């Protein structure tokens, strides 16, 4: 027998036998979600049906169908696809038709489940998930659809960790009556934007961006920025309390991450990114930086002579930012390079048997030239004379480098 609020029993069929209910996946205050088998296409799907105790609202069916049609019009890799919609007659529904949605079944779990298991996520993983959610929102906003209920429970994770946003539009219907009559909030108030708390009718996509900011804060810190004993207190905090920084809750992240969060959690929509694409672009810059840092920390970056020195020695050895060497100083530094280059060429002709000495001098010349002229932290100097110095230094590094490699090969072969 179905539980209270459920009108689809396990083992029953929907749509004249096309969908067979297999088991219950989950549910909430508005609907139950079932795993069902599409007998026609021989695949498993997710079937979402409205709770029976909501059917007393005469306008619910119309609103549900309208939102279902909107969801069906959204096609994006990070949005759960809607395959079918319909209505079903069931005993216990009081003669009313029960609207339902048939969606793709996402194998995996929700982001809420992941947070319950792990508490919080590494920076790179959190940024990538936020970027995928924003990609989905950009597609939805382009079609005039505002989600209004972005939260971990409404983000499903595929087996390879990709995010898929679900419940587009359905929560928006609930939000319009969330704080009326009973004074309770349908869903989770922690992710509401200030304009949602105010009950404004002119809510646009920037409301979703605020919710993504709350989501990212939660992913990185393991807690929401505003919490209290009641929905009203949480709503008041969204309206009037400055959002905390990650540093204030003991999470250290790069300053640009704090900046993106501060902008996303701005009380005034005008102070946030103006669309999901812009916020995603800002986060993707951070994702790229984290990917580069991760690659370097794993030891897969190209080896340079900088890796031979500690951070402190590198910082002290390099010219200070904005301070350039004069042409005279650079020419003086070039003298050892020219001497080594000339000696190596002469030794190859006159004393070609002294391979060890030639190899050693060439290796020293490469190191000196690299450290003196080709360190990437040194600002590029203006002027033609310095350009020629750089050119000579580059030629010297290539020539002496080849001589070093050839010498090493000969020494190894002769040994």
Would you please indicate which residues are annotated as catalytic (active-site) residues? Answer: 149
Residue 48 in marked binding region: yes
Angle between helices 327-350 and 355-373 in degrees, nearest 10: 170
Positive or negative: CA dihedral 253, 256, 257, 263 = positive
CA atoms within 13 A of residue 315's CA, in its CB half-sphere: 3
How far apart, in whole angstroms, are the C-alpha atoms of residue 317 and residue 93? Answer: 79
Task: List C-alpha distances in Å: 257 to 123, 250, 264, 282, 292.
Answer: 9, 14, 11, 9, 16
Structure tokens that stand for 184 in this block: 């309770």
How far apart, in whole angstroms, are the C-alpha atoms of residue 210 and residue 36? Answer: 35
How far apart, in whole angstroms, are the C-alpha atoms of residue 338 and residue 8? Answer: 86
Q: What kind and span of H or E run contains 99?
A: strand 97-104
Torsion of CA 156, 157, 159, 161, to 10 degrees: 170
Q: Closest by alpha carbon to 372, among 383, 381, 360, 382?
A: 381
What residues are paired with 33 via a beta bridge? Answer: 26, 48
Strand duo 155-157 + 163-165: pairing: antiparallel
Structure tokens that stand for 414 in this block: 């002769």
Cβ–Cβ under 8 Å, residues 74 and 145:
yes
Structure tokens that stand for 223 in this block: 């807690």
How far apart, in whole angstroms, are the C-alpha atoms of residue 394 and residue 341? Answer: 12
What residues are paired with 109 via a beta bridge? Answer: 157
How far apart, in whole angstroms, are the C-alpha atoms of residue 185 and residue 231? Answer: 7
Annotated binding site for ATP: 48
Annotated binding site: 48
């Amino acid at each position: 027998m179905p539980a209270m609020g459920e009108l689809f029993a396990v083992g029953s069929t929907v749509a004249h036998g096309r969908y067979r209910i297999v088991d219950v996946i989950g549910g909430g205050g508005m609907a139950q979600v079932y795993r069902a088998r599409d007998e026609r296409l021989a695949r498993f799907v997710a079937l979402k049906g409205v709770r029976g105790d909501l059917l007393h609202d005469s306008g619910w069916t119309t609103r549900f169908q309208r939102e279902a049609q909107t969801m069906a019009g959204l096609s994006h890799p990070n949005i759960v696809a809607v395959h079918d919609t319909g209505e079903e007659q069931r005993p216990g529904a009081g003669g009313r038709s029960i609207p339902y949605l048939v969606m793709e079944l996402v194998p995996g779990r929700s982001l809420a489940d992941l947070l319950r298991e792990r508490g919080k996520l590494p920076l790179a993983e959190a940024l990538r998930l936020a970027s995928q959610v924003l990609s989905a929102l950009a597609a939805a906003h382009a079609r005039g659809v505002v989600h209004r209920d972005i939260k971990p429970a409404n983000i499903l994770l595929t087996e390879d960790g990709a995010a898929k946003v679900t419940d587009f539009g359905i929560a928006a219907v609930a939000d319009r009556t969330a704080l009326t009559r009973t004074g309770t909030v349908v869903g989770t108030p922690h992710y509401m934007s200030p304009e949602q708390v105010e009950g404004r009718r002119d809510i646009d996509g920037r409301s979703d961006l605020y919710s993504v900011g709350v989501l990212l804060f939660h992913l990185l810190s393991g807690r929401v920025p505003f919490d209290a004993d009641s929905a009203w207190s949480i709503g008041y905090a969204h309206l009037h309390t400055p959002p905390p920084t990650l540093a204030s809750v003991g999470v250290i992240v790069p300053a640009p991450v704090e900046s993106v969060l501060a902008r996303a959690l701005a009380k005034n929509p005008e102070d946030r990114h103006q669309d999901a694409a812009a916020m995603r672009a800002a986060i993707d810059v951070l994702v790229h930086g984290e990917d580069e840092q991760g690659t370097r920390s794993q030891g897969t970056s190209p080896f340079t002579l900088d890796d031979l020195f500690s951070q402190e020695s590198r910082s002290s050895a390099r010219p200070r930012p904005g301070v350039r060497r004069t042409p005279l100083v650079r020419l003086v530094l070039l003298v050892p390079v020219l001497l080594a280059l000339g000696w190596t060429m002469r030794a190859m002709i006159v004393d070609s048997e002294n391979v060890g000495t030639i190899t050693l001098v060439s290796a020293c010349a490469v190191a000196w030239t690299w450290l003196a002229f080709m360190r990437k932290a040194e600002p590029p100097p203006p002027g033609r004379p310095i350009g020629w110095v750089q050119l000579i230094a580059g030629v010297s590094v290539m020539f002496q480098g080849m001589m070093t490699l050839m010498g090493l090969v000969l020494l190894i072969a002769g040994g």
